[in-house]
Amino acid sequence: MQIYEDRKSLMRPFLFGVTLTYVAIDNILNGPLREYMSKYFDLKEFGTNTREEYLYYLILFLGVLQILLSLQSLFLPVIEVIDTKIVLRTKEKTLSVIRDVSDIKNLNIKDNSYLVFSFDDAQYNVNVKDVLANDIRDLYTILNIKEEDKTSRKID
């Protein structure tokens, strides 16, 4: 079983990254947006002002990073259960956490946006804010853990 983030919630960060990338590339290559802005602002040739140059390279970096993170969230599952193993994408660890399903001691939903997996030696928070409630219910049934009433979420 694989649980992904909702595709609709990934569109906004992706479009934001595309917009940042477009603005940066347009200004670096003297595109139509830069020519339009030069009518109202005193803009010289790109590269004559070092601060401006670094700013647009920073905007380009942030835009490309946002696109890459959005695409990664599109193709990589947040939670994946494979036979007796569970793979979790968390913010605490850079790489995915792989543990045995039988090692799970407790599973709770915190603040309606984090699923807390408790093991003997560690506790991992998985962001499930943009995950459908039906997927979380299916996870509870696969793991044979009873879902508490206080952890029920609204179906999106």
Consecutive 10-residue averages of pLDDT for the chain (156 residues): 80 93 88 74 69 89 94 84 84 80 81 82 84 80 66 47
CA distance 5 to 78: 7
pLDDT at 43: 67
pLDDT at 17: 95
pLDDT at 42: 65
pLDDT at 16: 95
- Measured CA to CA in angstroms, residue 28 lies from 2, 24, 51, 94, 142 at distances of 41, 6, 13, 33, 52
Please report how many Cα atoms fall inside a 13 Å half-sphere around the Cα of residue 104, on the Cβ side: 26
* Residue carrying structure tokens 């040739």: 45
pLDDT at 142: 79
pLDDT at 47: 63
CA distance 59 to 79: 31
